[in-house]
Structure 1
Amino acid sequence: MAPQWSLLGDDILNIITERFDDIYDYARFGAVCKPWLSFSHRFYNQKKHLFRANHQLPLLVVPIEDHQQIRGLYNISTDTLCNQIQLTLPYKRCSGSSYGWLIFVDNKSAEIELLLINPFPSESEKSLIKLPPIICEDTVSKMDEYGVNKAVLSKDPNEFPNDFEVIAIYGGMQMLAHYKSGDQFWSYAKPTTEIHCFADVIFYKGMAYAVNFYSWIVRVYRKRFKQNPTGNSSPCFLRYKTICKRLPLSVCNYSGNAYLVETCKGELLHVRRDYITEESQMAMDEENEEEMKRVRAEYDARTQEEQDQIRQRIERESENQNVEDDEIRASQVEEMLFDEPHLSVNFTVFKLNYPSSRGQKSTETLNGEILFIGDNHSVSVPSSRCPNLSPNSIYYTDDYVDVYRLNLQFGSCDTGLFNIENKGFGKHFVPRFSAKGMPPPIFVVPRYRIKQC
């Protein structure tokens, strides 16, 4: 006689589901039979706050060899590739992952167009949203799939089609652009705004915040122009309210990357990622300072006539420099830059005091939570939901952007985990060397959507 699973009462089902660790257990549970699916729906509505997209264990979207348009899903908790699920995606870097959507750049000339792709759509949901072009005057650098360093959503566009926002970090100066559903154009900061070089953005408690590489944290909001600008442009511009002041410009204060993460308890964290050691940073600062002192002393010691002669000599030498020398020098620079990959050497975590007070304080624990960072919308998950992973750790993917093709030739190698309590490093997903040049992995949190029976 076959077991009558569908006849189990809610009290038994509740005991079963209380033992589940993450949202994927509920999805598998609901697939057993229609009564279990109905129970899963009721349970989800009762405890929906537990299943917010940014507090669930993410999967890794990884490239698959010899299949340029196909990506796989890798579960770092079980160390397995989900062979039954394959995603058809553009063969390029993904500029963001937020609320289950993947964000890609589809740039044309001086315009950068963003595509929002939902790789897990139901029959009634949108799988593709094309946003208006971002107007970028930077025509030299960052005009390929790195035209947008990162983009995040405020909400799921399928659940809130008329009430979602997008903030993108774009261009060589890494500025911010804001889009609200229904708008025809993006909103930008005024050209006179001095804050730039942004690293990450987050929507937190109904407001948007951004951090740059010098720990400058601002609240971002839109404001209307007094007079609507002429032409095809937004009637609004971006304003910034400083939450944490920028650190002094020095190598020691510059982070290789930075992230803003909301914890499961609703706190806001600032994570700094370093690619060179503190000792190296201090040595470089000292060298730069000594060099500046030497240059100032030499310049002050020269008369105006000597300065003119030196300037003329430099110009003549520059004009007479032949192409062969240029090629040799360029080759030497390229060899220096691409000699070895940039690997993370340290992570520092700060807890923000805002809005009770401004500023931030370093912390040596995540209170048992686990962070997942990279090009994705930063995720925090309680370790109780992923017992196979290391608590108080940061799981990260390779998102190096300064010389952005640097790590790709090594197979997107800067992927691993860092425990902030014992300062130890480890690995989770290690791409094969044959994956060099392929799009880097990115975390994604599939949305849990079920229909009531």
Structure 2
Amino acid sequence: MVSSSSYRDWAWLPKNLLWSIVETYLDQFSDFMRYSSVCQQWRCVALENNHRHKQTLNIFKACHNKLPMLLMGAKENHDEKRLLFSVTEGITYEVQLPSPCHNRFFGSSFGWLFTVDKTIITLLNPFTGRAIPLPAFKDPFGYFEDYMDEIRDYFVEKGIILSDPCLSPNSYEVVVIYGGMCRLAFFRSGDNSWNFINTKRDYVFSDVVYHKGQVYAVNCWSELVKIDVASEVDHVVTKRSRVCAQVAYLVESQEGDLLLVQRFWKSIDVDDENNSHSKTFKFKVFKLVYPVGEAQEKWIEIKNIGGQALFLGDNHSLAVSTSEFSGCQSNCIYYTDQNHVISPPYVCHGLDDDLGVFNLEDGKFQPHYIPDLSEKQMFPPIWFVPNLKGN
């Protein structure tokens, strides 16, 4: 037992000493966050006039309740910077990346981003600087290898992480949609290679989700497929629809239901030189149900998602409770452009970009971020929930 004479109350060290520690040693924001977590006194000292981390602190305050923010490339695709836009505040923050990254981001599960460099997929937490390179991506079916150099940032369309690598460093799993036929590949931490799932036929998947302990994927015909990634067995859950959407999304609602969102766009002329741009004109939302007396589950269209909002795009599709976020609109879909130019330079920003908010009740569209004319040839935007707690 420690005697009272040897006890030291570290919380009440002189402020000048505590401030000296902040200024001298806390270069990384992750160190700053750990320092702030020691006790209330240390946190107060850390927050006082801390200009070095003021920008990141503002981001932390804006996203502490897990509301997605819009992550975009900085002007001229600056390798060491990105922009984060808060839809509820209407404020854009500039983020300094721990290390340069000249590739497109996608995925965004648990605060981790996916990025691809040639055949290497890397998981990156842009705030803590932690990066996890995954094994080389070598498709045994050869669907993308002939043209991978031309679409190097897009041979992997989407990715999800089934559990947080910070919490499960030895047991996290990753699923991606890749190649021109939009097939599935699976990776488990500790493995030396990817497992390429050879389904019964080419479904051409549009989205993938981890729902109630199972991996589900869907195509643009609303055909839902349950995938056993361990045995590579696929089971068709719902029938193929007669209607083909441009994109289909899978989202787990706040109530735990599995939702399907269909997105439809059309081409419109944007100038006198016959240049066109795709513009979304409709969304439809469905819920997976198992009708009594029927042998198969089916999608039932719903017109109202209640007090929640959906965030859709190149990210892991998300549903949030709007009651927790002032300024976040209920019964709405926040979406980003997904009809990308898939080879550099990426002309995916501008006044005619296809991003905004869709209200399910009245069917109206409105903008959430309006880029200016100088923000062209930049990386596509993506919804992202920063995680500042990873090590």
**TM-score category (smaller protein):** 0.7 to 0.9
2:359 paired with 1:416: no
1:400-421: per-residue Cα shift (whole Å, max 9, x none)? 25x6459942526111110111
Structure 1 residues 337 and 153: CA distance shift in structure 2, 3 A: farther
Contact kept, 8 Å, 2:311 with 2:335, in 1: the verdict is yes
2:236 is paired with a residue of what secondary structure? strand
Write the letter of the residue equivalent to 2:39: K
Contact kept, 8 Å, 2:76 with 2:377, in 1: the verdict is no
CA distance in structure 2 between the partners assigned to 1:198 and 1:336 by the alignment: 36
Q: Over the residues paired in the alignment, what is the CA RMSD in angstroms?
A: 3.4
1:219-251: per-residue Cα shift (whole Å, max 9, x none)? 111345xxxxxxxxxxxxx22111112224xxx
The correspondence of residues 233-244 of structure 1 with structure 2, limited to 5 A, is: 238-244=232-238
Structure 1 residues 435 and 118: CA distance shift in structure 2, 3 A: same
Tell me which residue corresponds to 1:292: none
Out of 241, 246, 252, which is 1:262 matched to?
Answer: 252
Tell me which residue corresponds to 1:352: 288
CA distance in structure 2 between the partners assigned to 1:34 and 1:94 by the alignment: 35
CA distance in structure 1 between the partners assigned to 2:136 and 2:236 by the alignment: 28
Tell me which residue corresponds to 2:113: 102
Tell me which residue corresponds to 1:366: 305
Write the letter of the residue equivalent to 1:365: N
Contact kept, 8 Å, 1:410 with 1:433, in 2: the verdict is no
Tell me which residue corresponds to 1:340: 276
2:145 paired with 1:139: yes
CA distance in structure 2 between the partners assigned to 1:340 and 1:419 by the alignment: 25
Deviation at 1:119, TM superposition (A): 1.1
Structure in which a larger fraction of residues adopt strand: 2
Tell me which residue corresponds to 1:34: 39
Unaligned runs of 5+ in 2: 1-10, 12-31, 44-62
2:135 is paired with a residue of what secondary structure? coil
Write the letter of the residue equivalent to 2:158: K
Structure 1 residues 180 and 431: CA distance shift in structure 2, 3 A: same
Out of 147, 168, 172, which is 1:164 matched to?
Answer: 172
Tell me which residue corresponds to 1:323: none
CA distance in structure 1 between the partners assigned to 2:124 and 2:308 by the alignment: 29
1:151 is paired with a residue of what secondary structure? strand
Structure 1 residues 263 and 89: CA distance shift in structure 2, 3 A: farther
Write the letter of the residue equivalent to 1:139: E
Tell me which residue corresponds to 2:366: 426
Tell me which residue corresponds to 2:321: 382
Structure 1 residues 202 and 410: CA distance shift in structure 2, 3 A: closer
Structure 1 residues 209 and 145: CA distance shift in structure 2, 3 A: same
Structure 1 residues 204 and 410: CA distance shift in structure 2, 3 A: closer
Write the letter of the residue equivalent to 2:85: Y
Deviation at 1:172, TM superposition (A): 0.8
CA distance in structure 2 between the partners assigned to 1:343 and 1:406 by the alignment: 21
1:342 is paired with a residue of what secondary structure? strand
Deviation at 1:432, TM superposition (A): 2.2
2:256 paired with 1:245: no
Q: TM-score, normalised by structure 2?
A: 0.75
1:265-309: per-residue Cα shift (whole Å, max 9, x none)? 1111111110139xx9xxxxxxxxxxxxxxxxxxxxxxxxxxxxx
Unaligned runs of 5+ in 1: 1-5, 7-26, 39-52, 225-237, 281-334
CA distance in structure 1 between the partners assigned to 2:155 and 2:378 by the alignment: 17
Which 10-residue stretch deviates more, 65-74 or 437-446? 65-74
CA distance in structure 1 between the partners assigned to 2:115 and 2:291 by the alignment: 33
CA distance in structure 2 between the partners assigned to 1:89 and 1:354 by the alignment: 48
1:181-223: per-residue Cα shift (whole Å, max 9, x none)? 1111211233x72132111111111111111111111111134
Contact kept, 8 Å, 1:407 with 1:414, in 2: the verdict is no
Write the letter of the residue equivalent to 1:344: T
CA distance in structure 2 between the partners assigned to 1:204 and 1:443 by the alignment: 20
Out of 38, 60, 67, which is 1:57 matched to?
Answer: 67
2:201 paired with 1:194: yes
1:149 is paired with a residue of what secondary structure? strand
Q: TM-score, normalised by structure 1?
A: 0.66
1:422 is paired with a residue of what secondary structure? coil
Structure 1 residues 82 and 354: CA distance shift in structure 2, 3 A: farther
Tell me which residue corresponds to 2:86: 75
2:374 is paired with a residue of what secondary structure? helix
Out of 96, 119, 131, which is 1:86 matched to?
Answer: 96
Contact kept, 8 Å, 1:217 with 1:244, in 2: the verdict is yes
Tell me which residue corresponds to 1:443: 383
Write the letter of the residue equivalent to 2:109: S
Write the letter of the residue equivalent to 1:167: V
Contact kept, 8 Å, 1:96 with 1:377, in 2: the verdict is yes
1:384 is paired with a residue of what secondary structure? helix
Larger Rg: 1
Contact kept, 8 Å, 2:127 with 2:388, in 1: the verdict is no
CA distance in structure 2 between the partners assigned to 1:184 and 1:148 by the alignment: 19
CA distance in structure 2 between the partners assigned to 1:37 and 1:76 by the alignment: 32
Tell me which residue corresponds to 1:130: 133
Contact kept, 8 Å, 1:352 with 1:358, in 2: the verdict is yes
Structure 1 residues 422 and 33: CA distance shift in structure 2, 3 A: farther
CA distance in structure 1 between the partners assigned to 2:137 and 2:37 by the alignment: 46
Structure in which a larger fraction of residues adopt helix: 1
Write the letter of the residue equivalent to 1:120: F
Out of 150, 158, 162, which is 1:154 matched to?
Answer: 162
CA distance in structure 2 between the partners assigned to 1:245 and 1:145 by the alignment: 32
